[in-house]
Amino acid sequence: MNLRPADPRITMKLLEGRKDLLGPLAEARRKFYDDQHCIRCGGTAFTRITDSKTMFVPNDPLPRYLLKCRDCECLFDPHSGLLLTMGNLGKAFVPTIPILEGTDD
């Protein structure tokens, strides 16, 4: 079965005069994801991961994503707070003791 996108002009004409219900919800969900902090390292940079088992829930028209921290690579569900993959904290922090390179003098 091949799906073809509708003509944008026809779509806009059909939507004329209708109230935008998903726009404010999508903006609130985007802000929710942007305000998250990593459970393990406190990082704020994430990759959104789709999981077909948890992506859609009843009475919620928008998809839910899991977040994978770009610093320590842990995977967690921001909606429930569950940590799904521990990741590696060693990747998240810069060592407090500097690593000195040996010199050949």
Nearest CA among 88, 82, 80 for reference residue 43: 88
User: Which residues, other chains included, contact 70 with Cβ-Cβ below 8 Å and sequence gap of 6+?
Assistant: 43, 45, 46, 47
Question: Three-state SS for 68?
Answer: strand
Residues 6+ apart with CB under 8 A from 54: 64, 66, 77
Query: Contact at 8 Å (CB) between 33 and 63?
Result: no
Taking only the tens place, the pLDDT of each residue in 7-57 is 999 988 998 998 988 999 999 999 999 999 998 888 899 999 998 888 999
Span 45-102, pLDDT tens digits: 999 999 888 899 999 899 999 999 998 889 999 999 999 998 887 776 665 666 667 6
